[in-house]
Amino acid sequence: MGNFEARKRVFLDRLSREASEGRVDFDIEDFLREFNEKLSDYYTTSSCSGRIALASAPRLSYSKGPGLFKFLIKWHRPVTYGEVQGALRGFDYGDVWLLVRAPIIHFMSRDLDGALKILRLAREAGFKHSGIYSVMHDGVVVEVQGEDRFEVPLIINGRPNFTEDGFRRVVDVANETLMFGKLRLAHLIRLIEVRLMGREWLGDMPRTYFMTSYREFREKLNSLIESIPLDP
């Protein structure tokens, strides 16, 4: 077994272990398993499908400093106003930020040609902040990273930074930003499955997925629900 295969086995074992512990994002777990098992010239080393988080920090630039940045809670899905409000309950000091981070996956390719294939698919799917992360003796690492991110201070010096209406608006924007990133990731997964894994193409992803905002979708859904007559 060569170095590439040996390292791939290590990461496959880690993926299985972390999945059993509930530490792999539920919306990409199946893809990660199939990608790593079916493609002999690739494997993934780390991944995140995008997340919303609350963090305590005086400045986001301190996120690398010891003791200056602390995650309070993370969600890998849209959240409700009540969930965010509940997570903040009892926090009456310092600063708290609401953060949205885009999907990110590190792919290891056996050679440069394979790495460039992944990179071209990532760019096609809208992951413009992607590139060759490192070149090693046993492979090439491609970092695929989205640009859909959002960050805003919810509490400054222990005091809320928004009215209730403003707070609700911020949560909506956070959810919208998260979902844009996840839709781009879904598009990338489709491209990889067809171009590299031999899946049948099911047609282009509707442009409305990217043109219709989360807020517009939610407003239409609420209007539809309100239009349904209640049983007498």
Residue pLDDT, tens place only, 37-74: 999 999 999 999 999 999 998 877 766 666 788 899 99
pLDDT tier, 217 (very low <50, low <70, confident <90, very high otherwise): low
pLDDT in tens, 82-125: 999 999 987 777 899 999 999 999 999 999 999 999 999 999 99
- What's the pLDDT at 139? 94
Quick one: which H or E segment has residue 117?
helix 112-124
pLDDT in tens, 152-161: 999 998 899 9
- What's the pLDDT at 121? 97
Q: In what order do the strands lie in the sheet with 150-156?
A: 70-75, 51-56, 96-101, 150-156, 159-160
Domain 48-227: homologous superfamily in CATH: tRNA wybutosine-synthesizing-like (3.30.1960.10)
DSSP category for residue 60: G
What residues does 139 pair with on adjacent strands?
136
Residue 179 Cα to chain centre, angstroms:
9
- Domain coordinates of the chain in residue numbers? 48-227
Q: Residues 6 or more apart from 223 whose CB is under 8 A from it?
A: none
Structure token pair of residue 72: 């309070």
pLDDT in tens, 161-190: 999 999 999 999 999 999 999 999 999 999
Tell me the CA end-to-end span of the chain in Å, nearest whole number: 71
Residue 202's Cβ-side half-sphere holds a number of Cα atoms within 13 Å equal to 9
What residues does 43 pair with on adjacent strands?
108
Q: From 73, 117, 136, select the one nearest 99 (Cα to Cα).
A: 73
pLDDT tier, 209 (very low <50, low <70, confident <90, very high otherwise): low
